[in-house]
A and B are shown apart, each in its own frame.
Chain A
Amino acid sequence: MAETNSQLAAIQGKLGSKVIETLQPQGDDVLILDRSGLRESFRILKEDPGLDFAFLSDITAVDYWQKKEARFEVVYQILSLAKRRRLRIRVPVPENDPAVESLTPLWHGANFMEREVWDLFGIRFIDHPDLRRILLYDEFKGYPLRKDYPVNLVQPRVPERPVDGTFVDERSRNKLLRLKKSLGSKI
């Protein structure tokens, strides 16, 4: 335990005032960081030889709607392959401006993970090269993993794209017209 505390203290020394709080739930090392200058903080964590958290494991977010002052929290799992240590970083993000700096300049793999967080939570990543929806389709309205998104909400149907000059089978079209005509009186 003492060693772990010194580890967290070392990180706090390097990052200075960016660290809001350090926690150790269930023996994990957790750091709550300020979102200003986030990429620079991660650069220090990644490139400082004493810290060496060179591997990004995961990016996700949690919506603490009506539970915490800052509604969202973006959660990063990073680890040091050489020292076999994990570190979890939580970054509070307020509801009125849900945006954090993108980590794609540091890790290419952040691209897909940040797109997923944008897709499901609507948290923007500043300077992300390609912030599109990834699991859902472009016409999807809202962000489903937000707690105020109802679980049984039905999305409107996506209109079909108009296609010009495609082959139309006249016979089947006539058949369809006949069918419509015969049903017309009933419906």
Chain B
Amino acid sequence: MKAETKELPAEIMELQMGPSHPATHGTIKFNLKLDGEKVLECDVEVGFLHRGFDKSCEQATWTQVIPYTDRLNYASSLINNVGYALAVEKLIGAETPLRCQYIRVIVSELARIYDHLTCCGMASSELGAITAGFYMIEARELITRIIENLTGARLTVTYVRIGGLKHDLPHDFGESVARAFKTIRRLLDDCDRLLSRNRIFLDRLSNVGVISQETALSYCLTGPILRATGVDYDVRKAFPYLVYDQVDFEVPVGSRGDNYDRFLCRIREIEQSMKIVDQALANLPVGPVWIEDPRFVLPEKEKVYGSIEGLMHHFKIIMEGIHVPAGETYFAVEGGNGELGFYIVSDGGGRPYRIRVRPPCFIAMGAFHEMIKGYMVADIVPTFGMVNMIGGECDR
């Protein structure tokens, strides 16, 4: 009998993926238009985790905003703390002591390692590479323990203060970092052997989610997604802050702008971050970690309980908040996912008039339809994984 050829119905199917989907670690919805398995259109719906960060900040004192910033990108909360503190210090016109700047660099890089390990680990385990995923989570756990030892919290750390730090490093910090890095380097070597030439992993990532350099720039992308297309824009190099101009590191760039390049950029950045931490720990100067300005710094507890001036001073800072001079400023740091900017406006009072965060992954989600157009439904998972959308930051 002759085989009959039947035309498949070429109807465009609408599919809603999310907002709660096991493969999208974050609450987000994709409204897809599909031709078979091919994605024709993708409308990204964000905002499921919106909790009014901007409005809440306007009700709090400048210091009370710091815990809110923890909850933006909670995979790298230390970078958010540092970025916010630097923005406020820019408006005040204060520069923190050198030791404080070095410690801020160290904690920023630890948070960056944490962020990249989360992103790469989750993305690889979603593609079936559970072993490599767990290795990276194990490496991440070592970073978490260092952060816990330093700040007392694992995730929402609230370590940085305006004009300084909560406290200095613990005495065994250097050794514990060195020990952890030794293990992390070994784990990353293992992951490299498991993934980098793995046929399945390569097929799922390379030449998927490709975005050209012009498109990436037009969509205002930053961070590993932009660098994977070959643009070497890194805020740490372009507009050096803290002591990043005194440490030696490279900015890894890709060439094809696909998911595999994004993955490699992140993995290489982990290595560079460890290099930065090693250098900063070796050159760590001694000295105070706070600026010497009683208008912004809480007095020591002895003075609070021992003198009336100290008590009044403490009371004024806690109840009214520090008084940031009227004005507006923008300060950007390199977050885990790209340029993390803080635009702050002060009317001279103890509370912020307006705080705007430039969220790198919100802007990356604006380009998501461009990355996924023409690819398969299954390619959404690795592409979304490599964007590393963190709901807390995307939806604020």
Partner-B contacts on A (CB < 8 A):
25-26, 28, 54-58, 60, 62-63, 67, 75, 77, 81, 84, 86, 88, 107-113, 116, 120, 134-137, 144-145, 149, 151
Contact = CB atoms under 8 A, between A and B. Distances in A.
Given A26-B91, A86-B239, A134 B218 contact: no
A145 B90 CA distance: 24
A111 B43 CA distance: 13
Interface in B45-94: 46-47, 50, 52, 54-55, 58-59, 90-91, 93
Interface residues on B, range: 35 or more
Contacts of B356: 58, 60, 75
Contact of B365 (A77, A86, A112): A112
A-B pairs, 6 with minimum CB distance: A109-B220, A112-B366, A135-B47, A109-B219, A58-B358, A60-B356
B220 A107 contact: yes
A84 B347 contact: no
B307 to A, nearest CB: 35
13 contacts: A28-B329, A55-B220, A58-B330, A58-B356, A58-B358, A60-B358, A81-B233, A86-B239, A108-B215, A109-B366, A113-B220, A145-B54, A151-B58
A91 B75 CA distance: 35
Given A56-B220, A109-B220, A112-B366, 19 more contacts: A25-B329, A26-B327, A58-B343, A60-B358, A62-B345, A62-B354, A63-B354, A75-B328, A75-B356, A84-B239, A108-B218, A108-B370, A109-B221, A112-B365, A113-B220, A120-B54, A134-B47, A136-B50, A145-B55
A109 B367 contact: yes
Contacts of A84: 238-239
B200 interface: no
Q: Interface majority SS on A: helix, strand, loop or mixed?
A: mixed
Contacts, number: 95
Interface of B: 46-47, 50, 52, 54-55, 58-59, 90-91, 93, 215, 217-221, 231, 233, 238-239, 327-330, 332, 339, 341, 343, 345, 347, 353-354, 356, 358, 362-363, 365-367, 370, 395-396
A116 B396 CA distance: 11
Nearest to A149: B55
B333 to A, nearest CB: 13
B47 A77 contact: no
B218 A109 contact: yes
B332 to A, nearest CB: 7
A83 B354 CA distance: 29
Given A26-B91, A62-B345, A135-B50, A109 B238 contact: no
